[in-house]
Amino acid sequence: MKLKDKVALVTGAASGIGKATAINFAREGAAVLCADVNAPGAEAVARQIADTGGQAASVKADVSAEADVQEMVAQTVARWGRLDVLYNNAGIGFGMPVTQLPVEEWDRLMGINLRGVYLGCKHAIPEMLKNGGGAIVSTASDAGLRGSAYLSAYCASKGGVVLLTKSLAVEWAGQGIRINCVCPGVIQTPILDPFIAQMQQLTGTSVEDQWRRMGSMHPLGRVGQPEEVAKAVTFLASDEASFITGVALPVDGGIEAGSPPQRTPFGAEQPVTG
């Protein structure tokens, strides 16, 4: 019970990594407020947690809107009397050449992916200070640690999350608040469904082939699952990580460490050189 008697708020909780983390938080003993712009989805996750004996509630929230963020924090505190853990997970993604990227889409992505993290921290920290501290974890990305063609806006937003995390970790460490982020590689979540569908149309290959192709980019040879990221987030949110702050933790099957080895015609593995 890593989070026994803790109160947690999870954004983007209706699906993917957010859903898996909200469920894992509850399994580890936390009361969880599930926040998402998809209100029925967030409610379904909260109901799933409650049906298995956990404590959970839900709220509709657009993390780019300050009033919504204030309200989700206020509802958490009103229901359970405190806030110990915030997981800033809500995010969107798309890819296109920067010359074709509408300003409105740049602003929308930044509003959710980066402004949403800023607003979450801004309004959660004062509540955490009332109880002597807390833990904040945010979802950055492997794309926040290195550049990627056609993902300029996404990379910029997630790189911003990484340095916002480090700056706030230094700023609030002395007052008992630890702030970290996770940097997932390719994770099998609904955010990638449009990309998979587009690649199917372009290549004529199956969904399974697309996931295998993306998995081959990782030294572990596969894509990740939401539950694997959830476990890393839970660790960083728990007292087991009491001496860890300001970290951007890759949860990426080794992709940040380097390229997978290539195979010769004889089957022996050779490192990529040159």
Sheet hosting strand 177-184, strand order edge to edge: 55-60, 31-36, 7-11, 85-88, 134-139, 177-184, 248-251
- State residue 274's pLDDT score: 40
Is position 269 within any domain?
no
Q: Which domain holds residue 113?
A: 7-187+225-255
Count up the domains in the chain and report the number. 1
Q: Who wins on pLDDT, 262 or 163? A: 163
- Average pLDDT over the chain reads 93
CATH code (residue 42): 3.40.50.720
Q: Indicate if the pLDDT at residue 265 is higher than 60.
A: no
Phi first, then psi: what are they for 58, rounded to 5°?
Answer: -135, 160
First to last CA, the chain: 48
Q: Which residue numbers are catalytic?
A: 154
- pLDDT per residue as tens digits for the range 217-239: 899 999 999 999 999 999 999 99
Give residue 264's pLDDT band: very low, low, confident or very high (50, 70, 90).
low
C-alpha to C-alpha distance for 216 and 81, rounded to whole angstroms: 46
Q: Is the pTM of this model over 0.85?
A: yes
- State residue 103's pLDDT score: 97
Helix count and strand count (H, E) for the chain: 9, 9
- pLDDT per residue as tens digits for the range 78-123: 999 999 999 999 999 988 999 999 999 999 999 999 999 999 999 9
Is position 43 within any domain?
yes
Is position 183 within any domain?
yes
Q: Indicate if the pLDDT at residue 272 is higher than 70.
A: no
